[in-house]
Amino acid sequence: MSMPDVVRVGVLCVIYFATAKFGLSLDAVSGFAAAVWPPTGIALVALVLYGYRLWPGIALGAFLVNLSAGAPVLVAGGMALGNTLEALLGTVLLERVVGFRPALDRLRDVLGLIVLAAGLSTLVSATIGVTSGWLGGSIPTATYGDAWRTWWLGDALGDLVVAPLLFVWSRRGRVSLPRRWIAEAIVLLVAVGVLSLVVFDVLAPEIPLSRYLIFVALILVAMRLGPHGTVIALALRSAIAIWGTAQGFGPFAGPTLHESLFLLQTFMSVVAVTILVLAAAMTERKQAEATACEQRERFEVTLFSIGDAVIATDSQGRVTFLNPVAEALTGWPEAEALGKDITEVFQIVNEYTRQAVENPIARVIRDGGEWGSPIIRCSLPGTAWNTPSMIAARQFVTARGVSWASCSSFAISASADGPRQSRRAWPPLWRPRKMPSSARPSRGSSRVGTRGPSASMAIRPRTSSAGRSRSCPRRIVRRNSQ
């Protein structure tokens, strides 16, 4: 063990002992089962952040505090064993099962902390600790059940209130926060503090307010501030609630401090679980939205910058996107085409019979699956029909029902000296290892051979109100699958 680890073990032992003495001062059952036990959260955070090698600090701190509370050596050793195993088990479950991240910005992390650490690992400490005290005569048989329940809830509360605060604001969970967040956090946390003081009769006891009003403020904090603000609000609310209840104030004040703290335990646990889950869910949703917006922006930049024509529709066949190349291909500006049926914007007719051909996108939407890879051929503006630009196109439907018509130029471009061969970019699902000679465009040819029979089609250009075409004539040659 290195010197820094030795120092950490010593610091952990001191902090564990000091916070445990505070918990035992709040009317612990039989002097050992405390309703408020912050060391549980501190021990869990120490092992998760710095490793299992710090377990001696937990064992030594727990042994000394129970020994100072009047437990025999063997009993104090048994209780220390339960506290140490609790922290080790909670750490193992979080790291191995959940893949825990201290930021608590994922729902799986919060659920793991609630179920595995606060719910499951604390059973070990409560069972071993109370049984050790009962066997050693420190805990009477009559109070065994009450002591076990109080011990378990006290440890769980430490994992639900203290651990999240230390996790999120640790070096690994901390993130840069904008000034606007800080200003909003100050306002909301002050509101939570004032409302907690009023609800627990510490401030203005003559004003009767329901204890459940605190949920409104905490929900607002979870939605606006995320995990960083939520853990502070929960810690602030818990501190005020414990202090007010210990002084005999608030809705949970009972005949004895133990009964009051037990009722407060249940309430605080429910509040902590609800708000932590809400904060994680909201954070995940915001991250998903930010990722989707970033991907959409990158996607749109790509589609606008490429030299291929792309048309997107929704599941009903209404146009949702056209890039500039598609605007030139169809003659429709995107602003006018949005929301219109794809058959109105992207019209295809037989080149020889001039009869309408079934729109491939409509076919994909109706039948599902994926359509073939036709070859679309159109002449460029200002060029002759025998100097075409060849475009390969394919249509498909995504899992969400969005259909696409994408085109990639691959054959001939026009020049002042006549047609010349340009780059070839075959469709993604139709890429032969070597293009056969029959598929290579010949100089001056207005047609392209394909592997297999082909049928000629043409795009019907959009006409203006005067009846003249807004775009040049275009031809299509589609490869028919055999």
Segment among 88-102, 124-138, 320-334 with least mean pLDDT? 320-334
For residue 202, the model assigns a pLDDT of 75
Q: Are residues 29 and 89 in the same domain?
A: yes
* Residue 429: per-residue pLDDT: 32
Together in a domain, 130 and 224: no
228 in the same domain as 154:
no
pLDDT digits (tens, 9 = 90+) for 345-370: 877 777 677 777 777 777 777 776 55
Do 1 and 131 share a structural domain? Answer: yes
**CATH value at residue 116:** 1.10.1760
pLDDT at 471: 39
* Per-residue model confidence (pLDDT) at position 346: 79
- Residue 316's pLDDT is 82
Chain mean pLDDT for the chain: 76
Cβ–Cβ under 8 Å, residues 111 and 277? yes
Q: For residues 294 and 369, state if they share a domain.
A: no
d(CA 38, CA 12): 13
Q: Rounded to an integer, what distance in angstroms lies between the CA atom of residue 157 and that of residue 187?
A: 26
**Domain end residue (candidates: 174, 208, 241):** 174
| Residue 436 covered by a domain | no
Four-residue CA torsion sign, 284, 290, 293, 295 = negative
Task: Answer whether residue 439 is part of any domain.
Answer: no
**One domain for residues 180 and 256:** yes
Specify whether 146 is located in the same domain as 182: no
93 shares its domain with 233: no
> Would 434 be classed as within a structural domain?
no
Last residue of a domain, one of 285, 305, 325: 305
Whether residue 475 sits in one domain with residue 329? yes
Alpha-carbon span 192 to 214, nearest angstrom:
7
> Does 69 have pLDDT greater than 70?
yes
395 in the same domain as 475: yes
* Residue 174, both tokens: 């901390």
Out of 259, 288, 305, pick the residue that ends a domain. 305
Q: Report the first-to-last Cα separation within the chain, whole angstroms.
A: 72
Give the domain range for residue 334.
306-428+446-479
Looking at the domain assignment, is residue 441 inside a domain? no
Residue 420 pairs with which residues in a beta bridge?
413
Residue 34 clears pLDDT 80, i.e. is over it: yes
Structure-model confidence comparison of residues 256 and 140, the more confident one? 140
Both 185 and 164 in a single domain? Answer: no
Q: Which residues pair with 277 in a beta bridge?
A: none
306-334 b/e (C-beta count within 10 Å ≥ 16 → b): eebbbbbbbeebbbebbbbbbbbbbbbeb
Residue 131: name the closest of 51, 209, 77 by CA.
Answer: 77
Query: CA–CA separation, 247 vs 266, rounded Å?
Result: 18
Whether residue 433 is contained in a domain is answered as: no
Percent of the chain with pLDDT over 70: 74
- Please report where in the chains the tokens 């009972």 appear, as a residue: 254
Three-class secondary structure assignment of the chain:
CCHHHHHHHHHHHHHHHHHHHHHHCCCCECCCECCCCCHHHHHHHHHHHHCHHHHHHHHHHHHHHHHHCCCCHHHHHHHHHHHHHHHHHHHHHHHHHHCCCCCCCCHHHHHHHHHHHHHHHHHHHHHHHHHHHHHCCCCCHHHHHHHHHHHHHHHHHHHHHHHHHHHHCCCCCCCCCCHHHHHHHHHHHHHHHHHHHHHCCCCCCCCCCCCCHHHHHHHHHHHHHHHHHHHHHHHHHHHHHHHHHHCCCCCCCCCCHHHHHHHHHHHHHHHHHHHHHHHHHHHHHHHHHHHHHHHHHHHHHHHHHCCCCEEEECCCCEEEEECHHHHHHHCCCHHHHCCCEHHHHCCEEECCCCCECCCHHHHHHHHCCECCCCEEEEECCCCCCCCEEEEEEEEEECCCCCEEEEEEECCEECCCCCCEECCCCCCCCCCCCCCCHHHCCCCCCCCCCCCCCEEEEEECCCECCCCCECCCCEEEEEECCC
Q: What are the tens digits of pLDDT across the range 225-236?
A: 999 999 999 999
Q: Are residues 70 and 144 in the same domain?
A: yes
Residue 311's pLDDT band, with cuts at 50, 70 and 90, is confident
pLDDT of residue 368: 64
Instruction: Give a yes or no: residue 82 inside a domain.
Output: yes
Question: What pLDDT digit, counting tens, does each position of 394-412 carry?
Answer: 333 333 333 344 433 332 2
Strands ordered across the beta sheet of 388-397 = 319-322, 310-313, 403-409, 388-397, 375-379, 474-479, 454-459, 348-350
Q: How many domains does the chain have?
A: 3
What's residue 223's pLDDT? 92
Name residue, tokens 């003249």. 468
From residue 319, alpha-carbon distances to 113, 361, 391, 419, 462 in Å are 46, 11, 21, 34, 16
Given pLDDT bands bounded at 50, 70 and 90, which one contains residue 305?
Answer: confident
- Per-residue pLDDT reduced to its tens digit, 149-182: 999 999 999 999 999 999 999 866 556 778 888 9
376 falls within a domain: yes
Angstrom distances, CA of residue 257 to CA of 27, 132, 247: 6, 25, 9
Is 280 among the domain residues?
A: yes
The CATH number of the domain where 346 resides is what? 3.30.450.20
